[in-house]
Structure 1
């Protein structure tokens, strides 16, 4: 008899294939991720809405400036100029105004050297101004343009009828001319002479014109004969020398190492009588 082999499994041709279970992995099938994204979007929208609401509230006329207060005494800047600067420089309200723009608007005024501005709650802009203090008129080169020099040696543009000395020199030399003027004026004060004009040439030569019309030629500064030394020598002898002159002096030339020369006015010749 033929022996039958035991069957250990189904025949390959008749067995049904096994099916594997695959879990969904897309973003839309992750509830916890979707909830986190929704929360983030909601937070962003809330922040954006709050920011927009805040900006809208701050832009309301309720926070506009009610007054501009100048806390420094003024002698040159007028009320009309201040009003013009305030209208042109104050763009926005108490919260949105640019203090830099406001400061720049006030510093554009002719006599203002420096401006400081700050907010004062609830609706005030406080302004502190430093005015130029004119020390002299300034003429640079041959262009005929007349400006002013302040006490710091800075050139600025403004209008005045004040009695001031006249400086002239190359562009950028105003502070140097002012410093020399103060030195020369201090030395000349001992003989009651007042400089009316000081000229500094392109060749670095100095010339003083006094209020009585006398022109003092100092020339260039030299190591062996400094300007101050030459002027001091002139001051020490000029009162006596002036009394010996037969005519008014017009020019005193101090460019000599050990002395000075004087030019006097020539008396006009008498015209023949008709």
Structure 2
């Protein structure tokens, strides 16, 4: 659907129709969903050239922050954020989400404190959820659990089901599925449910569903599933990873890699 939306956006320009803030926000969001960085950069340049005042719009600015972050350009996302003249809770929440995409847990938790100090904005449940997500992506389990315990006292936000779900995901990522589910019940003083969940996990061998990512190369979007064995360019991908490992002074497991490619 994102590709179709961008097609309509291009058709508008061909017909001489100038987009407003709503259309621009939608187009930038479509670029983020499609991983179309070049298109997103073009829209950004258009706004700078033809409607610079919209860079201060909460929705246009937030869409740009999110697009750059999702396309791997976190520094550009921060520059857009820092350049916005006014930043409300929605804008801050988007920046928290941008850091979360890249697993920048420390910056995310710092954002929760910066919001009030710099712009007089109180973190809401969405912002705290973004920080928890960053802890999950970065494997900062202790920091995430601490944030869950202290969020009510520090930010006046009571944990909701989405915060507990994110905590479950965080613990699952480090192989602590049993703790992830049963400890939630223990925190709620539901010990019988906790024991039931532990038994259910052991009997069914529950595993987390693999995640996937998308990246744009030469205007072509490719999807990558975790532990992907079927990507048509997996041989070339592993060759590039091997070169990167050499540059970084690391090593890939040659035997394991070739076994996966065979």
Asked if Structure 1 and Structure 2 have the same fold, meaning a TM-score greater than 0.5 normalized by the shorter chain, the answer is no
TM interval, shorter chain, is under 0.3
Higher strand share: 1
Structure number with larger C-alpha Rg: 1
TM-score, normalised relative to structure 2 = 0.25
Higher helix share: 2
Q: Which protein, 1 or 2, shows the higher relative CO under an 8 Å CA cutoff with sep ≥ 6?
A: 2
